[in-house]
Amino acid sequence: NVRSFGEEADTVAQLTSAFIKGTQQFSVLTSAKHFPGHGDTDMDSHLSLPVVAHDFERLQQLELVPFKSAIASGIDSVMTAHLQLPNIDPEHPSTFSKVTLSGLLRHDLGFDGLIVTDALVMGGITGLCEPDEAAVRAVEAGADILLMPGDVEGAIAAVCAAVDAGRIAPAAILRSVERIWRAKHK
């Protein structure tokens, strides 16, 4: 509908690239969303967790095409999708999936910009765990910025406690801080 450049992967990729290149002459940050692709769902992730049963081949041929183009064009950030891809990670939704964020997005696609969660107050996430735990799981998966946690102070305290407990490596936090600093500097 109105939140996408279209339905054809190549068209979306071309328009995404043109938009990103057009913004680069200005002091703005760009974001591609919702990774790894939220167009083929039959439910609203604001209300519940959509399940998309596509395999990796399908993702490569369709959903990931615009993200690859965005990354090649210098996108500053990528927002996660609150959805379950059981053929990619049968245990975790994308926002909590190390396979999806740290593996597919960072390692396989080579993205080194900001990974931003979609709002953590959305029904696709709130039904899975407590708000503070949602913040920790997203950071564990590779998110740099937590958008709209249910309790901001609680989320900060939970992430700090997870670092102290060894659940999140201090080096991961430092890499996130560096990415945020680069974005702010831009």
Q: On the CB side of 7, how many CA atoms lie within 13 Å of its CA?
A: 2
Q: Any alpha helices (H) in 24-149, and if so which ranges?
A: 56-58, 64-72, 98, 123-126, 131-141
Tell me which residues are annotated as active site: 46, 118
Query: How far lies 106's CA from each of 99, 112, 122, 156, in Å?
Result: 10, 6, 24, 24
The whole-angstrom separation of Cα 4 and Cα 21 is: 17
